[in-house]
Amino acid sequence: MSTSGHCAGLLLDTCTFLWMVRTPGDLSAPAREERQRHGILPLALEEEALRHLPKLPDHHRDPFDRMLICQAIEGGLVLVTPDPEIHRYPVRLLW
């Protein structure tokens, strides 16, 4: 699922964050544009977000990515990631 229009909050996948701070040229054009308009703040993993974990289809084995998906769903956030496996989940995405 992709997003269109204005994004209220963004959650960065680990690779997206690393590219942003190390090699911003590796980001997609929309990700670079959003990066310039938004500050980066840490987001704690709240236990409440994990209630989505058993509901997720088993497309992706990476437990950290599955937690990011749960956080994005719980917080109504847009997950910024190029990961094609994450794109199979019902979560708002930007890439």
The reply to whether 3 falls in a domain is: no
The reply to whether 5 falls in a domain is: no
The reply to whether 90 falls in a domain is: yes
Asked if pLDDT for residue 43 goes beyond 70, the answer is yes
The reply to whether 1 falls in a domain is: no
Give the structural domain span for 33.
10-94
The reply to whether 62 falls in a domain is: yes
Q: For the chain, what is the domain count?
A: 1
pLDDT tens by residue, 44-80? 888 888 898 888 888 877 888 999 999 999 999 999 9
The reply to whether 84 falls in a domain is: yes
Higher pLDDT, 37 or 86: 86
pLDDT at residue 80, rounded to an integer: 92
pLDDT at residue 7, rounded to an integer: 47
User: CA 33, CA 89: separation in Å to the nearest integer?
Assistant: 24
Reported as half-sphere exposure (CB side, CA atoms, 13 A), residue 63 has a value of 2
The reply to whether 89 falls in a domain is: yes
- Does the pTM exceed 0.85? no
Q: Which H, E and C letters describe 1-50, residue by residue?
A: CCCCCCCCCEEECHHHHHHHHHCHHHCCHHHHHHHHHCCCCCCCCCHHHH
